[in-house]
Amino acid sequence: MDPAILRVTRKVATMLALGAGMAVAVLALLITVDIVGRDGFGVSLQGTDELGGYVLAFVGSLGMALTLLDRAHPRIDIFFRVFPAGLRAVLHVLALAVMAGFALFMTWQALSEFRQTVRFGAITNTPLQTPLWVPQIVWLAGTAFFALTACILMVHGLLLLRRDRARIERLYGPPTVEEEVASYTETETRHAGD
């Protein structure tokens, strides 16, 4: 059984990823309206390209935590499976520690950028004149949640090193070919029933 904090983290990460997906859907609708407006009526919404840049930043930062929880970040593991199980467990936790360090560094940089934007009252030099702190706060929140998630997983991995090393492989190792095939088959079966 996973600790409650992992279940809550997954729920929040899923909600953030769904929010990012909705932002992409809204952007696609705006782009469609803009194209039809320009081609059919000679009128443009102005700013859909700017909003597209913001959505790209949102999707990247809001989806990283769920990607980490789903073990979907790319890994090069060509020789990894030949290592002894104990060494693999240590390396998985080390990978989580490196990811947590990277995520904390990203968050620190995002916070620094956000503070500078707020201090100077920066706005975009575009038709929307967007105060830059608005999209940056979403980007910062997504990056901070990614860092929090990575730290939680690292601590959980460290605890498992002492208690149950076998679970580390299942929870934090790269997905096996069998798991990927099962996931793909499950997705295909679900879509076939729709």
pLDDT at 43 over 90: no
Given this model, what pLDDT does residue 193 score?
66
pLDDT at 137 over 60: yes
pLDDT at 6 over 80: yes
* 80 vs 132: which has the higher pLDDT: 132
SS3 of 31-89: the string is HHHHHHHHHHHCCCCCCHHHHHHHHHHHHHHHHHHHHHHCCCCCCCCCCHHHCCHHHHH
Buried b (16+ CB within 10 A) or exposed e, 103-112: bbebbeebee
**Mean pLDDT along residues 19-38:** 92
**Mean pLDDT along residues 32-57:** 87
Look at residue 17 and give its three-state secondary structure.
helix
Least confident among 54-58, 94-98, 176-180: 176-180
> What are the φ/ψ torsions at residue 52 (nearest 5 degrees)?
-60, -40
Given this model, what pLDDT does residue 143 score?
96
Query: What is the widest separation between alpha-carbon atoms in the chain?
Result: 67
* Mean pLDDT, all residues of the chain: 90
Contacts with 44 (C-beta within 8 Å, 6 or more apart), sequence order: 34, 37, 38
pLDDT tens per residue across span 159-182: 999 998 889 988 898 887 787 788
Confidence of residue 80 (pLDDT cuts 50, 70, 90): confident
Dihedral through CA 56, CA 58, CA 62, CA 64, nearest 10?
30
53: nearest Cα among 153, 138, 119: 138
pLDDT at 1 over 60: no
**Mean pLDDT along residues 16-41:** 92
Given this model, what pLDDT does residue 176 score?
77
Contacts with 113 (C-beta within 8 Å, 6 or more apart), sequence order: 136
What are the domain boundaries of the chain? 4-74+83-185
Count CB-CB contacts under 10 A for residue 157.
Answer: 23
Confidence of residue 194 (pLDDT cuts 50, 70, 90): low
Please, which residues bridge with residue 192 across strands? none
Helix axes 48-69, 133-163, angle to 10 degrees: 10
Q: What is the distance between the alpha carbons of residues 153 and 25, in angstroms, rounded to a whole number?
A: 30
pLDDT at 117 over 70: yes
pLDDT > 90: what percent of the chain?
Answer: 57
* 119 vs 51: which has the higher pLDDT: 119
